[in-house]
Amino acid sequence: MTTTVPPQILDLVSRVTGDEKHDPSAHSTLDVLWVLYDQVLDVAPDRVDDPDRDRFLLSKGHGPASTYAVLAARGFFPVEWLDDVASWDSRLGHHPDRTLVPGVEIGSGSLGHGLPIAVGTALGLRARGSSARVVVLVGDAELDEGSNAEAIVVAARFGLGNLTCVVVDNDSDPLGWPGGIGARFAVEGWATAEARTSDHAALRDALLRTERDRPTVVVADASRRATGVAA
Amino acid sequence: MSDMRARFYAELDPVLDAQPDAVVVLAVIGAEGAAPAAARHPGRVIDVGIREQALVGVAGGLALAGLRPIVHTYAPFLVERAYEQLKLDLGHQDVGALLVSTGASYDASTAGRTHQAPADVALVSALPGWEVHVPGHEDELAGIVRREAATTRRVYVRMSALQNDRAYPVDGRLHLVRDAAGDAPLVVAVGPLLGPALEAARDLPVRVAYTATPHPLDTAGLRDLAGGTPVLAVVEPYLEGTSAAQVSAALADRPSRVHHVGVPRDAELRRYGTPRDHAAAHGLDAAGIRRRVKGLLG
């Protein structure tokens, strides 16, 4: 268990991106990914087909360097795969493909698909009597897609306590969310929590907390304001 | 013979009994018909409201969790509104679902263009790994639904208001229904257009074959029936030429003359009336098909 993303993980991210310096603002999802796989999710490389594994769905398929780095660090595939991302011979693309990468639960890239799929998987796990959780990561700008609005309602009405949606808010939505992102979920009955991505203890607590009869949204503040990175 | 749609709803209860992994997913349409099955199988009929993106996205998630989604709504909302979900949430995730649409082509003739999707078969068959069935009889529908509820394939079943007098095997094969001389032109009728095609051909020297499965088409059967110098008409109750690529690939090694008969793609028919009126306007009633088939003779 760590309180910051370990340097070796940042090195793995750099192997994907080719950047020598570690710019935290370039990887707004990395903190969430690391806390999830380090402290929250019940999944491991030898259990990628276990029906009762916890699922992490990267809905925001853009910039999957953080996901690839964390999965490689946890042993889901060899770290050497990070060195030639998106080449002809690589299984790792600029958007991930679940059929090519062990540990990747959905292929994503087109925005607004992960949350509806996560709702279906949470319904399916509940129907099978599984205690596994589904955690789906979306971006604040990705929430623009109307499919998310559909899924937010459905998840709440079906009382999906096994579903957590992490919204990584890096202030990239052009039109903004007056009243806050969490309010969009709260009005439909979701439990809400907020944490700065730089505060791993708070992130962990928010990601571990679930309620039996309703889904949870964690708004992870990755804005420059929250991470202390100068604009 | 009952309504094909009513038969589908009646089949849900035994299908849910027989397939413990099957789950019905709806977007309001069909909720009333599925109510008896929902009452007998709590939690296994999921109505997401009028949310077609969620309808198909949820189906993809259910399939990823190992369940067998049976997804049902009107054809334009299932295929056109949620097309990217068919492509990504099912196909790209490499999972399957059994989609069953109602409102074929111009069945909703009084509802207008919003409720019509004659391009559905072309759209679905443009995506990898899908099978498309167009049953011409309620017993064919029941057979396909029972069988495919037990698989994990990507299957699109298109229900129709029009039905043929009898059911044929739903084995994916072309079935010769009306014979003539071996070198007589061949009419391939899909689904509920078999009846009008048989009437059209009643005294003409042509053979008539039938299939309820246009995709993948039984190309081996087509080559056998078509012979060395094929002259044929493909009569489909949806967008004209939908099967043209498959037919042309099947007959690529021989000189052939093929007429494709279906819903014209060049203009929107801005009229109401009955499905029969629309069939006549599109040349898909017996008289219209007969005109096209006669073009193969002489």
Rounded to two decimals, the ipTM of the complex is 0.96
At A96, is the pLDDT very low, low, confident or very high (cuts 50, 70, 90)? very high
CB atoms within 10 A of CB B6: 11
Chain A residues closer than 8 Å to B82 by CB: none
Mean pLDDT for the stretch of residues A116-133: 98
Mean pLDDT for the stretch of residues A46-52: 97
**Does any CB of chain B come closer than 8 Å to the CB of residue A177?**
no
Q: Could you give the C-alpha distances from A44 to A70, A208, A219, in angstroms and in order?
A: 12, 17, 26
The domains found in chain B, sorted by start residue, are 4-158 (3.40.50.970), 175-294 (3.40.50.920)
- For B44-87, write each residue's pLDDT tens digit: 999 999 999 999 999 999 999 999 999 999 999 999 999 999 99
Q: In a mutagenesis test of the A interface, which of B93, B94, B95, B152 is the best target, namely the one with the most A β-carbons within 10 Å?
A: B93
Amino acid A23: pLDDT: 59
Closest Cβ opposite residue A113 in set B59, B66, B88: B88
* Nearest CA distance, B135 vs chain A (angstrom): 29
* Nearest CA distance, A155 vs chain B (angstrom): 9
Closest Cβ opposite residue A120 in set B43, B59, B92: B59
Domain A7-227 CATH class label: alpha beta
CA-nearest residue to B44 within chain A is A127
**Does any CB of chain B come closer than 8 Å to the CB of residue A206?**
no
**Does any CB of chain A come closer than 8 Å to the CB of residue B50?**
no
Mean pLDDT for the stretch of residues A119-125: 98
At A133, is the pLDDT very low, low, confident or very high (cuts 50, 70, 90)? very high
Amino acid B164: pLDDT: 98
CB-CB under 8 Å, B63 with A120: yes
Amino acid A17: pLDDT: 84
CA-nearest residue to A54 within chain B is B65
Q: Are B130 and B154 in contact (CB under 8 A)?
A: yes
- For B98-113, write each residue's pLDDT tens digit: 999 999 999 999 999 9
Amino acid A22: pLDDT: 60
Q: Where are the alpha helices (DSSP H) in chain A?
A: 7-17, 30-35, 65-73, 114-127, 146-157, 181-186, 200-208, 224-227
- What are the extents of the domains in chain A? 7-227
pLDDT of B151 over the 90 cut: yes
Q: Tokens for B167? A: 């059911």
Least confident of A56-70, A156-170, A208-222: A56-70
Q: Are A176 and A217 in contact (CB under 8 A)?
A: no
CB-CB under 8 Å, B61 with A121: yes
Provide CB contacts within 8 A for A38, sequence distance 6+.
A1, A2
Amino acid A3: pLDDT: 82
As a whole number, the mean pLDDT across chain A is 93
Amino acid B182: pLDDT: 79
At A63, is the pLDDT very low, low, confident or very high (cuts 50, 70, 90)? confident
**Does any CB of chain A come closer than 8 Å to the CB of residue B268?**
no
Amino acid B111: pLDDT: 97
pLDDT of A25 over the 60 cut: no
**Does any CB of chain B come closer than 8 Å to the CB of residue A4?**
no
**Does any CB of chain A come closer than 8 Å to the CB of residue B183?**
no
Closest Cβ opposite residue B88 in set A105, A110, A153: A110
At A230, is the pLDDT very low, low, confident or very high (cuts 50, 70, 90)? very low
Q: Are A220 and A182 in contact (CB under 8 A)?
A: no
Mean pLDDT for the stretch of residues B209-225: 98
Cα B284 to Cα B282: distance, rounded to the nearest angstrom: 5
Q: Are B251 and B223 in contact (CB under 8 A)?
A: yes
Amino acid B241: pLDDT: 98
Q: Tokens for A97? A: 């493909």
Mean pLDDT for the stretch of residues B113-135: 98
Amino acid A231: pLDDT: 38
Name the burial class of residue B230, with classes exposed (0-12), middle (13-18) and buried (19+) by CB atoms within 10 angstroms of its CB.
buried
Provide CB contacts within 8 A for B28, sequence distance 6+.
B47, B49, B50, B73
* pTM confidence score: 0.96
CA-nearest residue to B82 within chain A is A147
pLDDT of B298 over the 80 cut: no
Angle at B87 between CA B148 and CA B60, to 5 degrees: 55
Instruction: Provide the CA B12 distance to its chain's centre, in angstroms.
Output: 19
**Angle, helix B52-64 to helix A146-157, in steps of 10 degrees:** 60
Mean pLDDT for the stretch of residues B254-263: 97
At A1, is the pLDDT very low, low, confident or very high (cuts 50, 70, 90)? low
Cα B195 to Cα B178: distance, rounded to the nearest angstrom: 12
For every residue of B63-107, DSSP letters joined together read: HHTT-EEEEEEEHIIIIIITHHHIIIIIIITT--EEEEEES-TTT
pLDDT of A2 over the 80 cut: no
Q: Are A53 and A132 in contact (CB under 8 A)?
A: yes
Cα B207 to Cα B185: distance, rounded to the nearest angstrom: 6
Mean pLDDT for the stretch of residues A133-145: 97
